């Protein structure tokens, strides 16, 4: 196999040197270009045609956010935002994910830092995984269609569960941002992100929403018209203690994803059955496929985002292959269907 060709966009010569050393030392990877700002990254994306771009967020002349927007419009290429953990940088990185970047990771610390090896592995793993996304789609407006018949008269759901990964932030703004304060159901959300970005994601997406968003805590009652986000380092599930409450379970060595969409969907199937709704959105891998199948078998309603509106169609495709999806819909249609499930 030819090596994965990586373009580095980073204004700091020192950080750029260390990132290049990390990438070039990884088996099957090579740095083909080093951009000092967003303008150079835009030019090199066109001339070098890399497999994946490692993009800093704060750079002179053109920052990483604007560079990501223009690259996705002119030369669609998988982009991984490599961000510091300052609040401003996290917010800009979330905007870049909405603009089409596929993932965000934190910058590796100094080599003597005990966490260096873990961050190095995450960077290489993420660049490798995203380089495998050969077709990066941006969602477009879908034709309006009549979807009212999907609602089942007389059977009102009690909870909505949503899972997303790569491409999820933008899709979630479109989907959850469409809900009004009259939407009288709790919404549970799993979005794959590194632990250190979960709180920043919550702060970034909240202004886009009419409903309040909370990072879930163990035993927290699930209230109507509220969105609950899986916290860092725990699986979010549903339990019934009188009413519905959030349950958090620890990660085990066997877990492939954290937080796990499968864990959320399976708990909704077990606790809510036919009164649960599951929605799988854009993302890589197969997390959520088994859980959505369980919810479908329990009588719940299950939906997947369609290929044309997905940035990455891995998770919806896997759920389809398992037979757990009742309907495949574009984001505008999903939003309209979701609005029909609020109790009247």
d(CA 230, CA 215): 6
Nearest to 29 by CA among 123, 135, 151, 163: 123
CA atoms within 13 A on the CB side of 83: 29
Alpha helices in 49-196 (DSSP H): 64-74, 87-99, 116-131, 168-176
Catalytic residue among 54, 83, 93, 165: 165
What size, in residues, is the chain? Answer: 344
Q: Which of 235, 228, 167 is nearest to 195 (CA)?
A: 235
> In angstroms, what CA-CA distances link 137 with 160, 284, 305?
26, 13, 13
Q: How far apart are CA 123 and CA 82, in angstroms?
A: 8
Backbone angles phi, psi at 148, to 5 degrees: -60, -25
56 is catalytic: no
- The single residue of 11, 262, 287, 306 carrying the catalytic annotation is 287
192, 235, 260, 309: the active-site residue: 192
Residues ≥6 apart with Cβ < 8 Å to 304: 279, 280, 281, 292, 316, 319, 320, 325, 327, 328, 329
125 given a catalytic annotation: no
- Is residue 330 within 8 Å of 308, Cβ to Cβ? yes
Whether 12 is catalytic is: no
Query: Can you read off the two tokens belonging to residue 248?
Result: 């958090």
Maximum C-alpha span of the chain:
63
Is the preceding peptide bond at 259 cis, omega within 30 degrees of 0? yes
Active site residues: 165, 192, 287
């Amino acid at each position: 196999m030819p090596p994965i060709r990586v373009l580095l966009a980073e204004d700091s010569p020192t950080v750029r040197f260390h990132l290049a050393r990390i990438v070039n030392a990884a088996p099957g990877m090579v740095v083909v270009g080093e951009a000092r700002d967003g303008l150079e990254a835009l030019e090199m994306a066109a001339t070098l045609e890399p497999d994946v771009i490692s993009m800093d967020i704060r750079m002179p002349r053109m920052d990483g956010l604007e560079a990501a927007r223009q690259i996705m419009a002119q030369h669609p290429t998988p982009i991984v935002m490599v961000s510091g953990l300052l609040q401003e940088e996290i917010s800009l990185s979330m905007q870049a994910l909405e603009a089409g970047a596929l993932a965000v990771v934190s910058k590796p610390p100094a080599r003597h830092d005990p966490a260096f090896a873990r961050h190095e592995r995450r960077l290489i793993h993420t660049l490798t995984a995203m380089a495998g996304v050969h077709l990066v789609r941006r969602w477009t407006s879908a034709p309006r269609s009549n979807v009212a018949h999907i609602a089942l008269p007389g059977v009102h759901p009690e909870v909505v569960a949503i899972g997303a990964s790569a491409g999820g932030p933008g899709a979630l703004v479109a989907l959850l941002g469409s809900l009004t304060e009259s939407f009288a159901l709790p919404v549970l959300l799993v979005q794959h992100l590194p632990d250190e970005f979960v709180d920043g994601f919550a702060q970034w997406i909240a202004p886009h929403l009419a409903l309040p968003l909370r990072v879930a805590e163990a035993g927290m009652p699930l209230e109507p018209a509220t969105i609950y986000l899986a916290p860092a380092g725990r699986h979010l599930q549903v339990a019934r203690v009188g009413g519905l409450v959030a349950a958090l379970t620890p990660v085990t060595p066997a877990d492939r994803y954290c937080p796990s969409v499968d864990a959320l969907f399976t708990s909704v199937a077990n606790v809510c059955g036919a009164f649960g709704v599951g929605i799988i959105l854009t993302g890589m891998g197969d997390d959520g496929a088994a859980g959505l199948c369980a919810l479908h078998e329990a009588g719940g309603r299950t939906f997947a985002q369609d290929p044309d509106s997905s940035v990455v169609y891995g998770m919806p495709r896997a759920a389809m292959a398992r037979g757990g999806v009742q309907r495949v819909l574009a984001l505008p249609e999903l939003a309209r269907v979701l609005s029909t499930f609020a109790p009247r």
